[in-house]
Amino acid sequence: MTTAATTRSAPSHLTRLKRRTGGGEALVGFLLLGMLVFIAAGAPWIAPHDPEAIATGRVLGPPDLGHLFGSDALGRDVFSRVLYAFRVSLSVAIGSVILAALIGVPIGLIAGYRGGRVDAMLMRPLDLLLALPALLLAIALIAIIGPGALTVLVAAALIYVPILARVVRGSVMVTKQMPYVDAARARGVAERSVMIRHVLPNSVGPALIQGTVLMGFAIQIEAALSFLGLGAQPPTPSLGVMLSDGRDVLTQAPWVEIFPGLAIAVTVLALTLVGDGLRRQLDPRGMAR
Amino acid sequence: MRALLATPATGRVLDVQRLGVRFEVQDDVVSAVSNVSLTIDAGEIVGVVGESGCGKSTLAMAIMGLLGSTAHITGRVELLGRDLAGLTVEERRQVRGDRMSMIFQDPLTSLDPAFGVGDQVAETIRAHRTVTPAEARARAIGLLESVGIPAAATRYSDPPHRLSGGMRQRVVIATALANDPALLIADEPSTALDVTIQAQLLSLLRDQRDARGMAILLITHDLGVVAQLCDRVAVMYAGQLVETATVEQVFRAPRHPYTQALLAAQPSAGLARGSLRVIGGQVPDLSDPPPGCRFAPRCPLVRPECDSPPELLAAQPGHSVACWADPATHPGAAATASSTGAPRGAAA
Amino acid sequence: MTPLLEVRDLVKEFPIRHSLRGTATVVHALDGVSLSIAPGEAVAVVGESGSGKTTLARCILGLTPPTGGAIVLDGVEVTRGDGRALRAFRRQVQPVFQDPYASLDPRWSVARTVREPLDAYAIGSVADREARVGTLLDLVGLTARMAPRRPHELSGGQRQRVGIAAALALEPRLIVADEPTSALDVSVQAQILNLLAGLQRELGIAILLITHNLAVVEHICDRALVMYLGRLVEEAPVPTLFADPRHPYTSALMAAIPYPDPSRRLPQTVLRGEVPSPIDPPPGCHFHTRCPVAIDICAVQRPATTQFGPAHRAACHVAAVAAQSTPSFAQVPSVPQ
């Protein structure tokens, strides 16, 4: 039964913004993420130095005005490298999830809606994929295709397809029971339309949230693989590569390691906050009204 | 624990004085209950009736002390003469389930799906009495039988989902009555049940009241249930109490315009076929309620005085009403439609 | 006059697989239900949980295919209709659902929801459809201001009106309303019931009203059918059903209605026991385990349908016997003394 209480006061702009993004923390997350994407996109214009320019005179130089994050073992400007590395890492993170969604969401939708044999046929191969350890799968793929950022993207996408499919499938199985789905069917709407126009938009929420979590993981997968030398190949900077490079000189020039590490942490934090906000935004709207 | 609140055989069990409940929801303050006073004596069944959003469930939760920290409660609630607000948290816990208990609408979610129904009754017993597990079990079986569950010993370990809705609600009642409370609060106990099962349940509640002499506060939206079970009735609208009376008085001669309209809107079998009376307008927004009588915007008898809250005054012995237009409580007020009467028939 | 809708011996069974036990059991949701609805008639199907009334509605709406029996619309069988026949059928038979909070897509505006059936059948131009949406909203008592709103901005009663407007869009000849007012406040129920009754009168639409609330039946319906555990137990014009119920379950159902009238108290025992499981229903007459007047044959043989009046039938051994033995019928006692 509905409650009579509905808010009617005029909230401040900040409050409204907070509500639409699902809370104060999520707003911070969104802003942060936006900033990071902006930085990544604008790296060529923002970076003060060429990320690959070797300057033997500045080897392991500490941070100063010209080199905000200092210089690494080859005298390269860490700040510029971090900026460019963001491009690679964010592209892999966002790209892998988008690719996984393009494949996984339709599979989950059809499997969840049709059920029965179609469901079994679609989900079994994905279950198989899920059963394989992610990192091993990635390494196997790299062995076949060869190392590089793009391979990492594909590998992560492959790992994510079954996860997203499963999330969507679960959500669809709940949504398809809703009376408004029956109503559309009974009103003569074709099944395909019902699936795409009613079931999909109402089931995609949990997948969105899961997507942000997976993006956070992707950053870390990329970093891990690059750390092992299997990801982005030199001289292309990636956050993982930089972590790997910085390890050797940790005691002499900690800034070479710290700043890329911080960059990873900040990105994952931003993604997590956005994910939390999305969850809060999507859940209460259904329940509180 | 027993000494905390001894049950008198007769006398006042519950005394609610000017209870108000306000919630803070984001930027707004919702006035869910406003200035509600009522009393229940031992052996009485009092019904609080109203439509959704009228605050009756909030009232019940406030009396039980189950509202969270977002709720600000004003006024006084006395159980067996003792002010509940004056108790410590631990004392309140001791009172709940022992001196007063509550049952809710959905029996499925009121019971823990993970363990047996008998154990849940026994749990309530052991929470308030020092007994051996064997004694608790024996008492639980006895209680289950007394609420009409056949072969209670065999069904003791059944998880709730093995029982039908009606059976589950009986188990819930058994847990509520386990420690012989002075007051039972029942929030829509039969709303989710089939009508024949509802009839059984109402019978059960009446029988238990007769056997134990406890007071029952029944929250419901169903006037039929009220007529069947209650001795006295309190009608709520938008957080305010608009009328209290014996059940005969309310149904024979309702005084408040809302009560009258509510009765006229009931589709009761036996009435001539045709249009049901409707109440025009909508329930007010409780974050910004009308300053006085909250029914005023929809009331056919509205007048300027309605801008200040009417007091609940006795029109006859046992029959009180909060209405400026009532001639018995406000002599000189003509109970006719004023020129500023609210429009009827607008879609809700 | 050919009936608008005929349901003949409808059977619906749902298999349940017990993965642990490995056996397959069956829920007998509908066990041979027959009924007919004349054009423009308002018929109620009354029953409690497990009666099968919702399954019946879903079969009629084409949402669930029946296991056996036939559904006939205007003399044409549509039971296992394939795409084309089903589509044509759906134009004639439209639903109104119980839960106003879940029967509208939360992301769609009111206008879009009401327009959807028109879009699905590509009726008229887009402009025509928009105009029709306006007319429909008007018909159900909503203003044009509601058109762009989303469901969460509307009250329960308003949402239900939107559902009715969408149901009217294709100008159906039958509306199947499954508990349309159960989730609403009493005062709002009154409005929706009045609306449905008005639409039936003005537009000549037949209504099949599924409900558990007998009191509601009297306000709209001409005839009522009572169901118990998948079977039809009694059928009669509404006044007759209330004045002269023949089946003990019907009597019990009516005796159980809590009247808002303190002088009409419920009898101490209305009906004992619980509804049996539809997986393993009692043999013979399903009601015999709870029936206050059951005789030996009731446990063995399914009662045949006896005619008690021009439109009054019931399936009860005891009632059949009573009607035969006394020329002026004696009412079967509904409650043991």
**C-alpha closest to that of C42 among C214, C201, C206, C172:** C206
Contact assessment for residue A187 and residue A177, using Cβ atoms and an 8 Å cutoff: no
A11 touches chain B (CB under 8 A): yes
Could you count the other beta carbons within 10 Å of the beta carbon of residue B9?
A: 7
Ramachandran angles phi, psi of B217, nearest 5°: -105, 115
pLDDT at residue A227 greater than cutoff 60? yes
pLDDT digits (tens, 9 = 90+) for C122-162: 888 989 999 999 999 999 989 888 899 999 888 888 999 99
C255 touches chain B (CB under 8 A): yes
Residue among C187, C214, C259 minimizing CB distance to B278: C187
Say which amino acid occupies B321: V
Does some domain include residue A147? yes
d(CA B81, CA B66): 20
B236 touches chain A (CB under 8 A): no
d(CA B86, CA B109): 31
Chain C residues within 8 A of A178 when measuring between CB atoms: 102
C99 touches chain A (CB under 8 A): yes
Does some domain include residue A181? yes
Which range, A136-140, A216-220, B308-312, is most confident?
Answer: B308-312
In total, the C-beta contacts within 8 angstroms joining chain A to chain B are 45
B278 touches chain C (CB under 8 A): yes
Residues 6+ apart with CB under 8 A from B85: B73, B76, B77
Does some domain include residue A202? yes
Is the interface score ipTM higher than 0.85? no
Domain span at residue A134? Answer: 39-283
**pLDDT grade for A21, boundaries at 50, 70 and 90:** low
Chains that touch A (3 or more CB pairs under 8 A): B, C
Does some domain include residue A189? yes
Give Cα A14 distance to the centre of its chain: 27
Number of domains in chain A: 1
Task: For strands C306-309 and C76-77, give the pairing.
Answer: unpaired
Nearest chain A residue to B239 by CA distance is A4
* Range from A275-289, B3-17, B136-150, C182-196 carrying the lowest mean pLDDT: A275-289
pLDDT digits (tens, 9 = 90+) for C272-286: 888 888 888 999 999
A10 touches chain B (CB under 8 A): no
Which range, B76-90, C65-79, C233-247, is most confident?
Answer: C233-247
pLDDT digits (tens, 9 = 90+) for C312-328: 999 999 998 888 765 54
pLDDT of residue C257: 85
Contact assessment for residue C146 and residue C110, using Cβ atoms and an 8 Å cutoff: yes
Does some domain include residue A185? yes
Chain A residues within 8 A of B25 when measuring between CB atoms: 5, 7
d(CA C263, CA C244): 22
CA atoms within 13 A on the CB side of C262: 17
d(CA A286, CA A279): 12
Write down the mean pLDDT value for chain C.
88
Nearest chain A residue to C186 by CA distance is A1
Whole-number Cα distances in Å, C280 to A80, A138, C136, C283: 75, 54, 46, 9
pLDDT of residue A61: 80
Chain C residues within 8 A of A180 when measuring between CB atoms: 102-106
Nearest chain A residue to C103 by CA distance is A180
**pLDDT grade for A288, boundaries at 50, 70 and 90:** very low
C212 touches chain A (CB under 8 A): no
pLDDT of residue C269: 77
Chain C residues within 8 A of B251 when measuring between CB atoms: 260-262
Mapping DSSP to helix (H, G, I), strand (E, B) and coil, where does residue C251 land?
helix
pLDDT at residue A92 greater than cutoff 80? yes
Q: Is the dihedral of CA A188, A193, A197, A200 positive or negative?
A: positive
Token pair for C90: 């759906």
Task: For strands C231-237 and C223-228, give the pairing.
Answer: antiparallel
Residues 6+ apart with CB under 8 A from B130: none
Contact assessment for residue B226 and residue B205, using Cβ atoms and an 8 Å cutoff: no
Chain B residues within 8 A of C217 when measuring between CB atoms: 269
Does some domain include residue A127? yes
d(CA A62, CA A270): 28
d(CA C228, CA C307): 18
d(CA A236, CA A248): 19
Contact B195 C215 (CB under 8 A): no
d(CA B114, CA B106): 17
H helices, E strands: number in chain A: 11, 0
C271 touches chain B (CB under 8 A): yes
B170 or A278: whose pLDDT is higher? B170
d(CA C179, CA C192): 11
pLDDT of residue B1: 38
Nearest chain A residue to B55 by CA distance is A3
**In chain A, what is the straight-line distance between the N-terminal and C-terminal CA atoms, in Å?**
10
Does some domain include residue A217? yes
The CATH number of residue A169's host domain is: 1.10.3720.10
pLDDT at residue C19 greater than cutoff 80? no
pLDDT digits (tens, 9 = 90+) for A228-267: 778 877 777 888 888 877 888 888 888 888 888 888 888 8
pLDDT of residue A39: 84
Q: Is the dihedral of CA A188, A191, A197, A199 positive or negative?
A: positive
Chain B residues within 8 A of A2 when measuring between CB atoms: 52-53
* Structural Rg of chain B based on CA atoms: 21
d(CA A167, CA C273): 43
d(CA A33, CA A222): 18
Does some domain include residue A24? no
**C-alpha closest to that of B71 among B61, B82, B56, B86:** B61
Contact assessment for residue A90 and residue A151, using Cβ atoms and an 8 Å cutoff: no
CA dihedral C96, C97, C99, C104 (to 10 degrees): -70
A15 touches chain B (CB under 8 A): yes
Minimum distance, in Å, between the CA of residue C266 and any CA atom of chain B: 7
pLDDT digits (tens, 9 = 90+) for B74-121: 999 999 888 888 788 888 888 888 889 999 888 888 888 888 999 999
* Range from A162-166, B278-282, C80-84 carrying the lowest mean pLDDT: C80-84
Q: Which residue has the tokens 């609208």?
A: B237
Write down the mean pLDDT value for chain A.
82
Query: What average pLDDT does this structure show over A152-162?
Result: 91
Full 3-state SS string of chain B: CHHHCCCCCCCEEEEEEEEEEEEEECCEEEEEEEEEEEEEECCCEEEEECCCCCCHHHHHHHHHCCCCCCEEEEEEEEECCEEHHHCCHHHHHHHECCCEEEECCCHHHHCCCCCCHHHHHHHHHHHHCCCCHHHHHHHHHHHHHHCCCCCHHHHCCCCHHHCCHHHHHHHHHHHHHCCCCCEEEEECCCCCCCHHHHHHHHHHHHHHHHHHCCEEEEEECCHHHHHHHCCEEEEEECCEEEEEEEHHHHHHCCCCHHHHHHHHCCCCCCCCCCCCCCCCCCCCCCCCCCCCCCCHHHCCCCCHHHHCCCCCEEEECCEEECCCCCCCCCCCCCCCCCCCCCCCCCCC
Contact B52 A1 (CB under 8 A): yes
Task: For strands B215-220 and B183-187, give the pairing.
Answer: parallel
Contact assessment for residue B11 and residue B79, using Cβ atoms and an 8 Å cutoff: no
d(CA A208, CA A278): 8
Contact C157 B269 (CB under 8 A): no
Contact assessment for residue C190 and residue B265, using Cβ atoms and an 8 Å cutoff: yes
Nearest chain C residue to B258 by CA distance is C187
Ramachandran angles phi, psi of B328, nearest 5°: -75, -35
Chains that touch B (3 or more CB pairs under 8 A): A, C
Contact C105 A189 (CB under 8 A): no
pLDDT digits (tens, 9 = 90+) for C287-297: 999 999 999 99
pLDDT of residue C160: 93
Contact B274 C189 (CB under 8 A): no
**C-alpha closest to that of A206 among A270, A275, A268:** A275
Low-confidence ranges of chain B (pLDDT < 50): 1-3, 269-273, 338-348
Minimum distance, in Å, between the CA of residue C308 and any CA atom of chain A: 36
Chain B residues within 8 A of C254 when measuring between CB atoms: 269
**C-alpha closest to that of A264 among A230, A233, A236, A226:** A226
